[in-house]
Structure 1
Amino acid sequence: MDLQLSWAAEYAAFACMLGISILIGLYYGFVERKQSTVNDYLLGGKHMSVFPITMSLIASHISGITLLGVPSEIYVYGTQYLIVAIINIFIILIVIYVFLPVFYDLQLTSVYEYFELRFNRKIRGLASLMFTISLILYIPVVIYIPALAFNQVSKLNVHSITPILCLICIFYTTVGGLKAVVWTDAVQSLFTTISIVAVIILGIIQVGGVGNVIKANAEGNRLEWFNMDPDPLLRNSFWTVSIGTTFSWVHGLGMHPGAVQRFVALPTYNKARKALIYFILGIGIVKILTGAIGMLVYTKFKDCDPVMAGYIENDKNLLPLFVTNVASNYPGLTGLFISGIVSTALSTMSAQLNTVSGTIYEDFIVKLLGVKVSDLMASIIMKATVVIVGIICVSLVLVVEKLGSILQISVTLGGVTQGCLLAAFVLGMCFPCANSRGALWGMIVSFAVMSWITLGAEMAIMNDKIKFVTKEVSVTGCPSNITLQNTTDFTGLYRLNHDVYVAPDVWKIFTLSYMHYSTVGTLIGISVGLIVSLIFPKEQHIEPNLLTPFVRRIVYPNHKNQIMKPNGVIVEEYNLVPQNTQL
């Protein structure tokens, strides 16, 4: 009976979260029926407030990849990755002073419309295509991770879980639009936060306090913050993490359509800036908390590694195993944790589906196909797009389950397209000399080179020609009656550095740290774009609002800053530069 009550409590917590998400979608879809225009569906009618937007941004960027991937990363490779929390300060400054003013000025429904205004329609179409492909490849990873956690706890088949979760997400995203996405994200983030805090508190109690956590991780060589080796081939160092994260997150937070869409949905620029600051600080806090969970997991299993002991197949299942251990005496807590994991997936997936529907409609159906429809039909088309893309993503989960490290594969997938897109925006906003030919070739070359590097690296990893050195684990505390699993075999490989073993026939470029994919892609795109623009100069008129504020000061010193309202009226609303500077 006690066991039945326990399982009832677990499923009740889980069902509560899903039920609230469905009810919010129903409310905004059928009670507050204001989703009949593109502005309502994608921007919430520009009546959103800072709090739900901030919570939605945090929730949509904290997926199961973070909740499961970061603790696993800390357990296996140490704490060097957590330096990302400090780097947030620089990312805030870059986004606020370079990208956010331009996007808020223009009030674009699709962020890639910028490329048509600055360059031409071809650049816009190419950028939208790259973004759409990257998103369709990324969403299945987001879906698979919580399904894996649910499988670890409930033993239900992963492929039975993912369609149910996706159908719920597709439903409230389709019916409710941005408002439903934002408010479900906000509610789901509460489940996530409660589950994280509960796991940390119970974990600390069970391992004997914070002092024991720090001592165990220090003795296990997990504490590593400032590995200042500049070698770009190291998997993790201060430089690979800080530089790589800066390039990756500037794209993800400063020009990702999902983020920009929410900033523009706020009624004033000051509110958009506040939401950005709170958002990035919130991301940093979550990274630190999930890193702390990773340290707790190591403290718990430091004498009996679960993978070597055969309790779990790989490190992806470390956190679910840890939760079932520490929460076994608290009915409902495991269900709350699973709700938190699933919440992150639903919030991320809903945000991305809402974003990709707007991108496909604005950049393909309207511009490329030249189709003009009524606002009601546009809303229907975008909702249908959400359903179609959602179904495609569910089917791709079959591919994702064959991939490796959670955190690494997510960064790798993003690195293919992030660099070329970031390079194109930087060329447009910061270099008046850049033209459409330069931007086009910069994007193409960056995408081609990074596709080659990432594909070569992943093939080498899959064929065991690249193997990473993990932190040492122990099995001295394991029961004597278990059969230990084999450790990593480096036979036939040579040690490239203290992080990586490689086969003699593997090119060194394929051993580049996965954290540097966005960095290299961006630098290639900017360099090629500038070179081509200078070799093939083109006379062009650039509207001042298409340039970032500090470049405007130089190119157009007498221009006053203006903003276009959604109704097409241009007014002077705020200054992005000191009062004594005419922009």
Structure 2
Amino acid sequence: MELSLVAEFSAFACMMILSVLIGLYYGFVERKQNTVNDYLLGGKHMSVFPITMSLIASHISGITLLGVPSEVYVYGTQYLVIGFINVFIIIIVIYIYLPVFYDLQLTSVYEYLELRFNSTIRGICSLIYAISLILYIPVVIYIPALAFNQVSGLNVHAITPIICVVCIFYTTVGGLKAVVWTDALQSVFTTVSVIAVIVLGFINIGGFGNMIKANADGDRLELFKMDVDPFLRNTFWTVSVGTTFSWITGLGIHPGAVQRFVALPSYNKARKSLIYFIFGMGVVKIFTGLIGMQIYAKYKDCDPVRAKFIQNDRNLLPYFVMDVASKIPGLTGLFISGIVSAALSTMSAQLNTVSGTIYEDFVVKMLGFKVTQLTASVIMKSTVVIVGVVCVALVIVVEKLSGILQMAISLSGVTNGPLLSVFTLGLCFPWANSRGALCGMLTSLAVMSWIIFGAQEAIMSKKLQFVQREVSVAGCPANITILNSTDYTGLYRMNDDVYVSPDVRKIFTLSYNHYSTLGTLIGVAVGLAVSLIFPTEQDYDPKLLTPCIRNFVFPKYMAQDKKPANGKPAPEEYALVPQDTKL
């Protein structure tokens, strides 16, 4: 038993030590992190592979690894349609968002809003982003700590500081290069752990055919529920449309993603990195969905939650791993390393990005002038430490929340729509002005906050409950106490997916997948209406419009003009993609 425990902790310790060593290397051996360009963009000498792996790793947190299997086990496979809609996301980002931001070569993507509208909109959007990130990172930290607790028994609040200290250290010392290469390393741990769990799962349940049969018999298999009702929790349309808006926010305008694309030396490499990332994420979603199907096939006759083997469905994957991998020393530790790696990569990427955002959009503005490169580097590194400490403290709050995947998507939905709407107004609508953009963004933020927090309050008070797929306890041991099934007393069934109290507003039952969709549509609609009602004379560089709109509105505009829209000189390879270049 002691030998097995040593093997588990050795796998975990190996990953943590390697992450620290990478930070030490880029911080002290290759000492090139003392300028803004080096710290945030890696000196623009990054290659496609580490950037792509970093993007994948930073988007695969414990929320994905634990949340998707739990989602599939409880609600079925409809969510997995997300793995097949990637081509639409690629087209939208490549043709609308990426060309403009790559041409501008901005340290902070929110500088675009000042160039297109004004500094007030830039400041508000930066503040919204920083706050949303500070609230999101504790969720990312808590999930792997919970998995570690399930396996090792160590207290969650003893684990989170250790994880965070390692992450803060290599992010602070090594900058973007350390973040990218640790992400690439950590993605290896994550990939190996996921594949190992899938292989062991198939061996344990008797193969792919048994998994499909069990899920079909349990009414879990579903990909093309084509009902267009936006109040159904998961359908083909709520998942595909909602995810498209959400991922455009995460790839097209997210400072972390744009920062990585800009860190590549050419636009073609940035485009390749995006394409590889999208397909990589699709594979990850499908793999984690397979694990959820395996978990159901394993426990179809004895639900671990109702049997009180685990507290709730967020513990399903750690419980499954301990069950199928307990006889192989070190494998459970490898799995935990994969979960923690996913959290570290996401946290480090967000910390590195938020430090640049706070510096460019707040510190420089408050000072009224740019400090020396060394001072700027010190300020950003100090910001990483401060934000990291705050996030550790906020884990206590996250611990009180329930759910994984839906909770994460719901919280991000508060800000995704407003932010995407203001960027879309600037890029796609030449007549949109600062007054319209501000009104649209604030209206969207207010409405989505009201809807989402109203829905969360209804969920916590049990006035809004979602219909879960049937589970069985027929195969459970006779000497255990079984939890009662969900109680819907006082609620009425609004549709196939929702039970709700009569006093809950219907808008609060909107599918969580559509939060980003609705927020974006509200922001764009209000922004355009206000811009048309209160038109203003505008003077901005046509490069601030997306190429397809720019070429239509300004047909005589020469794309070969190499003067950057931000007024900074740029090397030839960073200039705007010529009109005859196929995107």
Whether TM exceeds 0.5 here: the answer is yes
1:482-497 superposed matches below 5 A: 482-497=480-495
Mapped contact 1:174–1:383 kept (Cα < 8 A): yes
| Structure-2 separation of matches of 1:439 and 1:33 | 42
1:147-296 superposed matches below 5 A: 147-296=145-294
Give the equivalent residue in structure 1 for 2:77: 79
1:26-105 superposed matches below 5 A: 26-105=24-103
Give the equivalent residue in structure 2 for 1:508: 506
How many angstroms does 1:219 deviate by? 0.4
Give the equivalent residue in structure 2 for 1:401: 399
| Structure-2 separation of matches of 1:86 and 1:107 | 31
Q: Deviations over 1:102-140 (max 9, x none)?
A: 000000000000000000000100110010011011000
Mapped contact 1:56–1:183 kept (Cα < 8 A): yes
Match of 1:370 among 355, 365, 368: 368
Mapped contact 1:107–1:564 kept (Cα < 8 A): no
User: Could you say what secondary structure the match of 2:431 adopts?
Assistant: coil
How many angstroms does 1:48 deviate by? 0.3
> Structure 1 563/342 Cα, relative in aligned 2: closer, same or farther at 3 Å?
farther
Give the equivalent residue in structure 2 for 1:313: 311
Give the equivalent residue in structure 1 for 2:104: 106
Q: Deviations over 1:379-425 (max 9, x none)?
A: 00000000000011011111111112100010011100000110001
| Structure-1 separation of matches of 2:577 and 2:35 | 30
Mapped contact 2:267–2:577 kept (Cα < 8 A): no
4+ runs deviating over 3 angstroms:
562-567, 570-578
1:435-474 superposed matches below 5 A: 435-474=433-472
| Structure-2 separation of matches of 1:501 and 1:460 | 11
Structure 2 unaligned spans of 5+: none
How many angstroms does 1:372 deviate by? 2.5
Mapped contact 1:445–1:528 kept (Cα < 8 A): yes
How many angstroms does 1:181 deviate by? 0.2
Q: Deviations over 1:511-531 (max 9, x none)?
A: 011100000000000000000
Give the equivalent residue in structure 2 for 1:579: 580
The number of equivalent residue pairs is: 579
| Structure-2 separation of matches of 1:415 and 1:389 | 22
| Structure-1 separation of matches of 2:9 and 2:139 | 24
> Structure 1 570/385 Cα, relative in aligned 2: closer, same or farther at 3 Å?
closer
How many angstroms does 1:558 deviate by? 2.1
> Structure 1 404/559 Cα, relative in aligned 2: closer, same or farther at 3 Å?
same
Give the equivalent residue in structure 2 for 1:421: 419
Give the equivalent residue in structure 2 for 1:543: 541
Mapped contact 1:365–1:371 kept (Cα < 8 A): no
Mapped contact 2:62–2:339 kept (Cα < 8 A): yes
Q: Deviations over 1:149-170 (max 9, x none)?
A: 0000001100110011001100
| Structure-1 separation of matches of 2:571 and 2:248 | 29
| Structure-1 separation of matches of 2:372 and 2:202 | 57
User: Could you say what secondary structure the match of 1:58 adopts?
Assistant: helix
How many angstroms does 1:571 deviate by? 6.1
How many angstroms does 1:576 deviate by? 3.8
Give the equivalent residue in structure 2 for 1:18: 16
Aligned amino acid, residue 64 of structure 1: G
| Structure-2 separation of matches of 1:393 and 1:121 | 28
Mapped contact 2:99–2:576 kept (Cα < 8 A): no
> Structure 1 270/465 Cα, relative in aligned 2: closer, same or farther at 3 Å?
same
User: Could you say what secondary structure the match of 1:367 adopts?
Assistant: helix
The percentage of aligned residue pairs carrying the same residue is 72
Give the equivalent residue in structure 2 for 1:355: 353
Give the equivalent residue in structure 1 for 2:137: 139
How many angstroms does 1:87 deviate by? 1.2
Give the equivalent residue in structure 2 for 1:532: 530
How many angstroms does 1:370 deviate by? 1.7
Aligned amino acid, residue 165 of structure 1: I
Match of 2:519 among 518, 521, 524: 521
How many angstroms does 1:568 deviate by? 2.8
Give the equivalent residue in structure 1 for 2:477: 479
Give the equivalent residue in structure 2 for 1:569: 569
Q: Deviations over 1:428-470 (max 9, x none)?
A: 0000000000000011000000000011000000000000000
| Structure-1 separation of matches of 2:274 and 2:228 | 31
Q: Deviations over 1:182-227 (max 9, x none)?
A: 0000000000000000000000001001000000000000000011
User: Could you say what secondary structure the match of 2:499 adopts?
Assistant: strand
How many angstroms does 1:30 deviate by? 0.5
> Structure 1 139/502 Cα, relative in aligned 2: closer, same or farther at 3 Å?
same
How many angstroms does 1:480 deviate by? 0.4
Mapped contact 1:115–1:124 kept (Cα < 8 A): yes
Mapped contact 1:549–1:577 kept (Cα < 8 A): no
Aligned amino acid, residue 92 of structure 1: I
How many angstroms does 1:569 deviate by? 2.0
| Structure-1 separation of matches of 2:284 and 2:221 | 18
Structure 1 unaligned spans of 5+: none
| Structure-2 separation of matches of 1:407 and 1:509 | 20
Mapped contact 1:234–1:500 kept (Cα < 8 A): yes
> Structure 1 272/493 Cα, relative in aligned 2: closer, same or farther at 3 Å?
same
How many angstroms does 1:349 deviate by? 0.1
| Structure-2 separation of matches of 1:196 and 1:430 | 40
Give the equivalent residue in structure 1 for 2:431: 433
Alignment RMSD (CA, Å): 1.3
| Structure-2 separation of matches of 1:281 and 1:288 | 11
| Structure-2 separation of matches of 1:513 and 1:559 | 43
Q: Deviations over 1:88-112 (max 9, x none)?
A: 1100000000000000000000000
| Structure-1 separation of matches of 2:578 and 2:521 | 28
How many angstroms does 1:579 deviate by? 2.6
Aligned amino acid, residue 429 of structure 1: L
User: Could you say what secondary structure the match of 1:329 adopts?
Assistant: coil
How many angstroms does 1:367 deviate by? 2.2
Mapped contact 2:562–2:576 kept (Cα < 8 A): no
User: Could you say what secondary structure the match of 1:467 adopts?
Assistant: strand
Mapped contact 1:106–1:563 kept (Cα < 8 A): no
Match of 1:299 among 292, 297, 300: 297
Aligned amino acid, residue 135 of structure 1: L
| Structure-1 separation of matches of 2:129 and 2:253 | 11
User: Could you say what secondary structure the match of 1:309 adopts?
Assistant: coil
> Structure 1 418/369 Cα, relative in aligned 2: closer, same or farther at 3 Å?
farther
- TM-score w.r.t. structure 2 length? 0.98
| Structure-2 separation of matches of 1:370 and 1:580 | 40
Q: Deviations over 1:18-53 (max 9, x none)?
A: 000000000000110000100000000000000000
| Structure-1 separation of matches of 2:377 and 2:127 | 21
| Structure-1 separation of matches of 2:558 and 2:269 | 21
User: Could you say what secondary structure the match of 1:306 adopts?
Assistant: coil
